[in-house]
Amino acid sequence: MEAKILVIGALGTVGAETVHALLRRGVRPRAAGTDPSRVAARFGDAVEAVRFDFGASETFGPAFAGIDSMFVLRPPHISNPKRDMFPALEAARKAGVRRVVFLSLIGIEDKKFVPHRAVEDFLERSGQERVFLRSSFFMQNLGSTHREEIRDRDELYLPVGDAKTAFIDARDLGEIAAKALVEVGTGSAAWDLTGSEALDYHEVARVFSRELGRGIRYRDPSPPAFFLRRLGAKEGFMFALVSTWLYANTKRGMAERVTDEARRLLGREPFTLVEYVRDHRRLWIR
């Protein structure tokens, strides 16, 4: 059966969970990445692996052909979506993609300079059905961006003071994305998605300490010190800058709001941070 659903960024944190959620529903998606051989190695014949690159227009046609609904996100290296994303999104519209599920960011309604907001505005003008997954911080960031500092230095190093964050597990986001892609009647929507609790990083450190069986401390650096450490981690200037900006907004309370949307859409309680750390404990074992 020809795939009708496209997942762009199928090897990413939320993209991969979206593929898994679709497969659990019995749906064989078209899974896109810049290297389709890696996509095929990850998912095997369960998916239709295809090459897609926002910067390579020759990949648009094969990726979008016959697609009804697609999941899309903004790659971290793209800071100018008008130049680097809109041509692909317009090609999808012209190819007949009816619904776009976009992984956005919670609290951006009044932040017009944020790239996610520019993508939302473009999709609202497109005339397509669109579902915006306005997500809080992923728990998985603690197992990727902050993995080494927890594993090797027994610390969490973030410039957020005592502010709280309503983390969400990417597994829950993948399930919700699959629901938006598959279920008829969703229409256009914007969902503010968080977990069921807001924690400050002192509490996060205590969760890690209990689950790992060793002391993990929280350090609250200045924003410039944090920015320089992220640069030193060779993540790139824009990634370091956006990370510093996001955590500055966290310190001002942007990430503390807890919503009931994820619980409503999942029909169950979202994963807790304790469950996430317990399920992925191996990531932080030296």
Which residue type sits at 102?
F
Instruction: Determine how β-strand 164-165 pairs with β-strand 155-157.
Output: unpaired
**pLDDT tens string 81-128:** 999 999 999 999 999 999 999 999 998 887 777 889 999 999 999 999
Rounded-to-integer distance, Cα 261 and Cα 192, Å = 6
**pLDDT tens string 136-152:** 999 999 999 999 999 99
pTM above 0.75, yes or no: yes
Task: Work out the end-to-end distance of the chain between its first and last CA atoms, rounded to an integer number of angstroms.
Answer: 45
Q: Determine the CATH number of domain 5-136+167-194+257-267.
A: 3.40.50.720
Question: What pLDDT is stored for residue 208 in this prediction?
Answer: 98
Rounded-to-integer distance, Cα 119 and Cα 26, Å = 30
Q: Is the pLDDT of residue 1 over 60?
A: no
The residue ranges of every structural domain in the chain are 5-136+167-194+257-267
Rounded-to-integer distance, Cα 206 and Cα 201, Å = 8
Q: Is the pLDDT of residue 184 over 70?
A: no
Question: What pLDDT is stored for residue 185 in this prediction?
Answer: 66
Q: Within the chain, where are the H helices?
A: 13-24, 36-43, 60-64, 81-84, 86-94, 115-126, 147-153, 170-182, 201-212, 223-232, 237-251, 261-266, 273-279
**pLDDT tens string 7-55:** 999 999 999 999 999 999 999 999 999 999 999 999 999 999 999 999 9
Residue among 117, 105, 218, 243 at smallest CA distance from 163: 218
Positive or negative: CA dihedral 259, 261, 264, 270: negative
**Average pLDDT of every residue of the chain:** 93
Q: Is the pLDDT of residue 215 over 80?
A: yes
